[in-house]
A and B are shown apart, each in its own frame.
Chain A
Amino acid sequence: MRLKARKFDTFYLSLFFVALYLPVLSVILYSFNASPSTAQWTGFTFDWYRMLFRDRVIVEAFKVSMEVALITSVLSAILGTASAVISMWVTDRMKSAIQGMMILPLLIPEVALGIALLIFFNALRLPFGHLTLVLSHSLFCVPYVYIMVQLRLKEIDRSILESARDLGATTWQTVRTVILPLVIPSIITASLLALAMSLDDVIISTYMSGPKTTTLPVHIFSMMRVGVTPKVNALCTLILVGMFIVVGLSQLFNKKQHKEDL
C-alpha cells in the first residue's frame, strides 16, 4: 500500500514539475532555433541574441530596468530596515499599525494602485520616468524588506541589546554594532528579492514609464502585439538566467544566516 502511494506521489510531482517548467524550457530551446517560426526546428543559431544586442531600444529599456531595480532595491532596503528597527521600540499598538500599513500596498490590486499613483504623481507634476518608477516600485518592495528584517529581529535575544546598552553603547551604537550586523543577511536577501520584483513588474511600470523611459518588461509586452519573435525568446532566456542568479544568491545568503546560531 505504502509503496503504491509513494509511486503515485512521485508520478504526481513529476507531472506537476514538467507542466510547470516545460514552457520555460521551450522558450530557451526556441531562442536557439534558426527558423523564425516555432512550428519547426531548422537548426541551432545565436542570431537572435546577436539581433537582440543590436536592438537599441531593447538595450536602452534594459538599462532603464536595471537602474530602476538597483536604486529601488537599495532604497527599499534602507526604508524597510529602518521601519523594522524603529518598530522594535514602539508600543505594541503602534507596531501593529505600522505592520498593517506596510502590508496594505501588497493587497491593493496593482491596476488600482497604478492608477492611484498616476493621478497622484500627475498632481505633484512629477516627470514620469526614473523617479516615478523607483518610487512606485519601492512602494511594493519596502514591505517585503520590512517583513523579512522584522522576522530576523524577533529572533534576536533582547538581553543582547540590553547588554550593549549596559556596556556603554548609545542607541545608535547599538543599532550599528549589534543590530545591523545580525540582520545584514536578511537585508541582502530582501533587497535581492526587491531587485527581482522591480525587474519583472509590468502593470505598475506601464503607468509609470515616461515617454523615453520604458522598462524592459513593458517593452517586451509592447513587442508582443506584433507577435512572438525569436528575439523575444532570446530576451526571455536571458532574463530567466538573470533571475536564477539573483534567486540563487538570495538563497545562499539565507542559508549562511541560518548557520549562525543566535
Chain B
Amino acid sequence: MKPPLLNLININKYFGDVHVLKDISFTIEQGEFLTLLGPSGCGKTTLLRCIAGLESVHSGDILLNGSSIKGIAPNKRNVNTVFQNYALFPHLNVYDNIAYGPRVKKSMKEAELKERVRDVLDLVQMLGYEKRMPHQLSGGQRQRIAIARALINEPAILLLDEPLGALDLKLRKHMQTELAHLQKKTGTTFVYVTHDQEEALNMSDRIVVIDQGKVQQLGSPRDIYNNPVNLFVTTFIGDRNIMQVEVLETKETHSKVKLGDNIVSIRNPKQHRLESGQAATLAIHMDKMRVSCDETPNALKAEVLSIHYAGSQIRMELKVDDKMITVVEYQKTDCECEIGDLVYVVWEDHGAILLPLEDSGVEREV
C-alpha cells in the first residue's frame, strides 16, 4: 500500500514548561486540502511550523513519503510556507522574490526560470507585475506573490499560515474561492491553518479541529459540522443551542430524551453509546430550528422572549424550561408570534445531536 504523503506520529512539543502539542497523530493524503482549525493559542501554527521545520519536535516523528524529515533543516525539506504577513523580501521586486527559491537552490537555468516565473504568475493572475516592489502592491496582491513564490518550488506540501487573516472581509471571501481553485488546479497538497470556521468549512477536503494542543476531531467539513464528537467541537463549529437533557430510552437510531416536561426524539451520536437514565447534552444548530404556532410532534414548548429582524434573518430568543435558546430563521414563517406567546420549536433531524455529558463543565467558553 502506498504510504500517506505526510504522516505525523505522536508529535509532542513543549515551549518551556508548556505542553503545546500533545501526542498529535494523523496523516495527510496526496492532493488534499487539509485545514488545521482551532482557537488562537491552540497549537495549530506551531504544528505547521513543525512540519515546515521552523520548530523542532520533542518526541514523535514526521514522515514525508514514508521517510522521516524530523531532523532535516527547513531549507532541505520539500515543503514551503506562505506566512501570515506574506514575508516578501522588501528589497527585491516581484520577479526576484519569486525566483528566490530556484536561485538559492540553483535548480534552474535563468531561461527556464523566466518561463516558470511566468507560469506561476499566470497561475495567481499577476502577470505584468514582475517589476513592482512589494510595497507597491496591495495586501491581496502580496498574498498572491507569496503563494507564487512558494509554488515555483513545486513543494510536496504547501503550508499556509492564516494567509487571509490580514485581508478585509470581501477580499477574504474572494481569495477563499481562488485558493480552493488554485489548489485543485495545481493538485498541490495544501495544509491550511485558520481560526475561522467558515474559511475551513468552505475550502477544505478535511478539517482537523485542534484545541489545547490535542486533535479534537478529524473529518470532512460536513462531518465536522453535523457530527461533532465532543462538546468543544460542538460549541466551536456553528452556532448551537446547548441544553442539558436526560436520556429516557435508547433505540437503534434515535433516543428519547426529556427536557423539563418535553419529551423528544433525537438521533444518536456516531461515536458514543448512550444509556437510559444518563444525563446528556443536546445541541441543535440555531439555523436548523423553526418556530411553529401549532402543536407539533417532536417539538419543544417555548415562550417567545424577543424577536429581532436583522436583514435577511430573523433572530428569536425563546425560553424552553427556564433555558434561553436562540432560533435563526431566514424566511418569514407562517407563525405570526409576538413576545409572550407560547410556540413550538421544531428542527431538522440532522441539525440536532446528543452527546454524553462531559466532566469539564457544560458552559465552556470558546
Contacts and interface: CB of A to CB of B under 8 A. Distances in A.
B65 to A, nearest CB: 18
Contact of A162 (B54, B88, B153): B54
A157 B91 CA distance: 13
Contact of A178 (B74, B89, B149, B150): B89
A261 B75 contact: no
A246 to B, nearest CB: 25
Contact of A160 (B74, B81, B90, B153): B90
Interface string B59-99: 00000000000000111100011011101111100000000
A166 B90 contact: no
Given A163-B83, A261-B135, A168 B101 contact: yes
A261 B74 contact: no
Contact of B83 (A159, A169, A173, A262): A159
Interface in A162-210: 162-170, 173, 177-178, 181-182
Q: Quick one: which of B53, B76, B91, B135 has the most chain A CB within 10 A?
A: B91
Contacts of B74: 162, 165-166
Interface residues of B, number: 25
B20 interface: no
B52 A261 contact: no
A162 B53 CA distance: 10
A260 interface: yes
Contacts, number: 66
A159 B163 CA distance: 13
A168 B81 contact: no
B359 to A, nearest CB: 40
A167 B154 CA distance: 11
Contacts of A168: 75-76, 101, 104-105, 153
Contact of B85 (A159, A166, A167, A261): A159
B100 interface: yes
A163 B100 CA distance: 10
A181 B96 CA distance: 13
Interface string A127-145: 0000000000000000000
B153 A167 contact: yes
A166 B80 contact: yes
Contacts of B89: 160, 163-164, 178
B90 A169 contact: no
A157 B146 CA distance: 15
Q: Quick one: which of B104, B149, B150 has the most chain A CB within 10 A?
A: B104
B91 A166 contact: no
Contact of B87 (A160, A169, A170, A260): A160
Contacts of A261: 90, 135
Interface of B: 52-54, 73-76, 80-81, 83-85, 87-91, 100-101, 104-105, 135, 149-150, 153
Closest 10 interchain pairs by CB? A167-B101, A159-B87, A163-B87, A169-B104, A168-B105, A159-B83, A261-B135, A165-B74, A181-B91, A168-B75
20 contacts: A159-B84, A160-B88, A162-B54, A164-B89, A164-B100, A164-B104, A165-B73, A165-B74, A166-B52, A166-B53, A167-B100, A167-B153, A168-B76, A168-B101, A170-B75, A170-B104, A178-B89, A178-B91, A261-B90, A261-B135
Given A167-B75, A260-B91, 15 more contacts: A157-B85, A159-B83, A159-B84, A159-B87, A162-B54, A162-B74, A163-B83, A166-B80, A167-B100, A167-B101, A167-B153, A168-B76, A177-B100, A178-B91, A182-B91
